[in-house]
Amino acid sequence: MFATVIVSWIVFTLLLKVVKTTMKTAFIAAVTIVLLHAAFGVSPQDIWHQIILVPQTLSQVVRVR
């Protein structure tokens, strides 16, 4: 019984850390997108389009070498 409580507490603590980190990352991403949009007029669609092009760009860089 005692071991179950200890393991449950460890799992709960780890999940709490994961959720906290995820929320922090999401907040930073949202703030970055808002700042890019406000300062430079870059839309979230523009950012997403560039992210989608990353694998293609990397494959072109690898082929050049």
Which residue range is the domain that position 45 belongs to?
A: 2-64
**In the 8-state DSSP scheme, what is residue 51?**
H
**In the 8-state DSSP scheme, what is residue 14?**
H
Asked if 31 and 20 touch (Cβ cutoff 8 Å), the reply is no
Domain count, the chain: 1
Asked if 36 and 48 touch (Cβ cutoff 8 Å), the reply is no
Residue 62 vs residues 10, 49, 55, 57: alpha-carbon distances, Å: 43, 21, 11, 9
**Stated pTM of the model:** 0.70
pLDDT tens profile 5-61: 999 999 999 999 999 999 999 999 999 999 999 999 999 999 999 999 999 999 988
